[in-house]
Amino acid sequence: GNVFCGVGRPVEANHVLQRALKIRVQQLGPQHPQVALTKFNLANAIMDLAGTEDAKQLLDEALAIQQQY
């Protein structure tokens, strides 16, 4: 996902990161630090698509997870 963001392809990044988030939540649980990192990366992709409210929610969720560790 980050590679797609880096080359200016936020739609593809969003798709890949949404899938990665779903898999990580299923495999690691919703409070795992890798889930927080994926939410952070997804928020960046969403911001590139001008979805600031959705991005803010993901960033808040990522921060809440990170504060547990």
- Interval 41-59: pLDDT, tens: 999 999 888 778 889 999 9
* Per-residue CA distances from 10 to 18, 34, 59 (Å): 12, 20, 17
- Interval 28-42: pLDDT, tens: 999 999 999 999 999
pLDDT at 56 (0 to 100): 93
pLDDT confidence of 15, banded at 50, 70, 90? very high
Rounded to whole angstroms, the Cα distance separating 62 from 26 reads: 16
Average pLDDT value over all residues in the chain: 91
Residue 10, classed as helix, strand or coil, is helix
Rounded to 10 degrees, what is the CA torsion of 37, 10, 51, 63?
10
